[in-house]
Chains A and B, each alone.
Chain A
Amino acid sequence: MSSSALEAEAPDLVCQLDNVQGMVDALSAVRWKRHQDAVVELSEHGVVLIVEDTGCLQAKVYLQRELFIRYEYNAEGRPRFGVSLGLFVDCLNTFSLPGRSSMIEIQYPGPDMQLLVKSVDSLDACIYAEIRTRIPDTISWDYNFEPAGSTPLTFTVKSAALKEAIDDLEWPGSSIQILLQPVPPCVTFKGEGHGDLQIDFMYYVNTDLLIAFHCDRQVSYRYKYKFLHATTSNLPSSVIKDNRGSKLTIGRGGMLKVQHLVSVAKLATSHPQIDSARHQQPSRIAYIEFFVKPEVDEDTVHNS
């Protein structure tokens, strides 16, 4: 039992959210295999969830405090805890009932360092959960993404098209080359394995697909297919439905950054005009970032 002094202390975080499904969507986007340990970091700006795979792939979900309808942060520094991502998502999913927007309250820590979740919108029916947390592993690879040069090497492509392209590259598999060239402005995904497959996104040919393109010199790096696939494998359907774009940036040493936007807006209710206005609010978006390390390959042409 905790002492009264401990009980009097406010928890590090108490926050309330009115769209559980949005949070489930955002967290599911970084769920690429069954068992994943996640590290959650709390701050006055919001909640960040980080997962990684063999030091080659890292994903972050940013849930800014603006996504929450209440956000009471009382900690010094930035408390971190470890949690099983699958369990956390499955648990949150039980709070999301179809056709109903459900309001939940999340608290950390509970009396036994648990993560506490409970529904708060109904008096006579209540769903609650206590998730065991762990002392987090030190993140072996907390990466500082640095731009590759004075001008960023970046392009923005429709998320649906990116997912489709990466799904198609499963067939050649193994490693995938991403090539950016300024003249003619074009992004190429090339897979060589069981066979060859090349997918070109030509900037001027299809501006609907490739929305933005910045590249002043030709670059090319190779990435492991399974890591590239993880960046889009669980893209929530709302991202496709909202017709969003994903931004890809190549940084120093070929580090690939993939950014998605996931809507955490409240479900449409009886006031469509208000909701559509709210829909546009940038603050109701969760940011997802993946960092993929390139394959170290002697004969890859880095710069030409």
Chain B
Amino acid sequence: MKFKAFLTEHGVSLLERRFLPALDKMGKICHLFLTRDHAIFLHNLLNGDGVQCIAQFRKEALFDDYRISSQNEDRIAFAIDVSLLLRAVRSSVSICTEFGNGPSANRLQIKLVKKLPPNCTQPMPFLTFETKGYKSAVIQDVPISKPLSRAQVLELQTALDIAQDLPQTLVQVPDLNQLQNFVERMKHVGDLLNVSISKYGDLHVQISTTLITLGAEFRKLLVIGEQAEAPSEDRNLSAQSRSERAISRGDAQSVQVSVKHFSRSLQCHLAKPDCAFYGIAPQGACLTVIFQFFIPGTRQTDKSISLHCRLPVLDPG
């Protein structure tokens, strides 16, 4: 089992400034799944009932000189502490900028190693960062879990395949910051959030307790996938009756999720996506949020990067 690669300058900045801070908010530990073509960060895919978060990069988006080999079709997966990974990348960056001597002089190499830590009898696996400065080299060892077994990798791959299912209707959130501000404040009022999404391009979020009903409706959003014309007789109704009617017509779906999960998924805005879409998976299996990234300076989707979250549904509509 071998893995060795050089992080590109672009890859370092993607990880350090955008993705790792976002992933750090999703949970302390994630799986890093490396294949021949992709590096994938996965939260909660194998265990737990938290928010599943999947950040997938084509190897060219992060690395050059990417070498991987294993007896399991060149696939390697292990668990890693995101905050430690972020710290290692950050300090490597500061070493590079401090002692760097042109872009080629300070390449950041990462590799998988086994080392005998002090006071231990068993060698332990690490992801090692090696930064070559002007006169010195700095090596940082980030502890990782034992690599996942063949069966566990298969399980991870299956979970990943299932997680690729797209909702039939996706609506684009107009202003992620605004939604996040709103949900942060909503958290004080209740724990359960009803989310309904219609083919007309309506996103309706609502907390309802015995003492209060608090909600927000965003209308006329961009729809991807199945869409329908909003019936004109619904125009002057309240947000609640509008979404009830859309659901009864079969033009909308509604699920209940945890407000905490919803607000956590919005933390992904730290990865600076160019837009975000919400959708409900078939049969209300989960609430999916898909973040889209553009090739810098264009409105074209950057297919080498993908990020999406799946929020567990507490009550299937």
Q: Which residues of A contact B (CB under 8 A)?
A: 84, 87, 90-91, 93-94, 96-98, 123-132
**A to B CB contacts below 8 Å, 26 in the list:** A90-B185, A90-B188, A90-B189, A91-B212, A91-B214, A93-B185, A94-B185, A94-B186, A94-B189, A97-B178, A97-B181, A97-B182, A123-B219, A124-B219, A125-B174, A125-B217, A125-B218, A126-B239, A128-B216, A128-B217, A129-B213, A129-B214, A130-B213, A130-B214, A132-B210, A132-B212
Q: How distant is the Cα of A126 from the Cα of B186 in the complex, in angstroms? A: 14
Which chain B residues border A124 with CB–CB below 8 Å? 218-220
Given A125-B216, A126-B217, A129-B215, also A87-B182 (CB < 8 A): no
Give me the 9 closest cross-chain CB pairs, A-B, nearest first: A90-B188, A94-B185, A129-B214, A130-B213, A127-B216, A124-B219, A132-B211, A125-B218, A124-B220
Binding site for A on B (CB under 8 A): 174, 178, 181-182, 185-186, 188-189, 210-220, 238-239
Q: Which residue of A lies closest to B215 (CB)?
A: A128
Q: How far is the CB of A115 from chain B (nearest CB, A)?
A: 9
Q: Is the CB of B212 within 8 A of A94?
A: no
List residues of chain A with CB within 8 A of the CB of B185: 90, 93-94, 96
Contact B215 A91 (CB under 8 A): no
Cα of A91 to Cα of B207 in the assembled complex, Å: 11
Set A84, A123, A127, A128: member contacting B238, Cβ < 8 A: A128
Q: Label chain A's interface by main secondary structure.
A: mixed
Most buried by B among A84, A97, A125, A131: A125
* A127 to B239 alpha-carbon distance, docked (Å): 9
Expressed in whole angstroms, the minimum distance between the Cβ of B197 and any Cβ of chain A is 15
Q: Is A87 in contact with B212, judged by CB distance below 8 angstroms? A: yes
Q: How far, in whole Å, are A97 and B216 apart by their CA atoms in the complex?
A: 13
Question: Is the Cβ of B216 less than 8 Å from the Cβ of A126?
Answer: yes
A94 touches B238 (CB 8 A): no
Known: A91-B189, A94-B214; 14 extra A-B contacts, CB below 8 A, are A84-B211, A87-B211, A90-B185, A94-B182, A94-B189, A97-B181, A97-B182, A125-B216, A125-B217, A127-B215, A129-B214, A130-B212, A131-B211, A132-B212
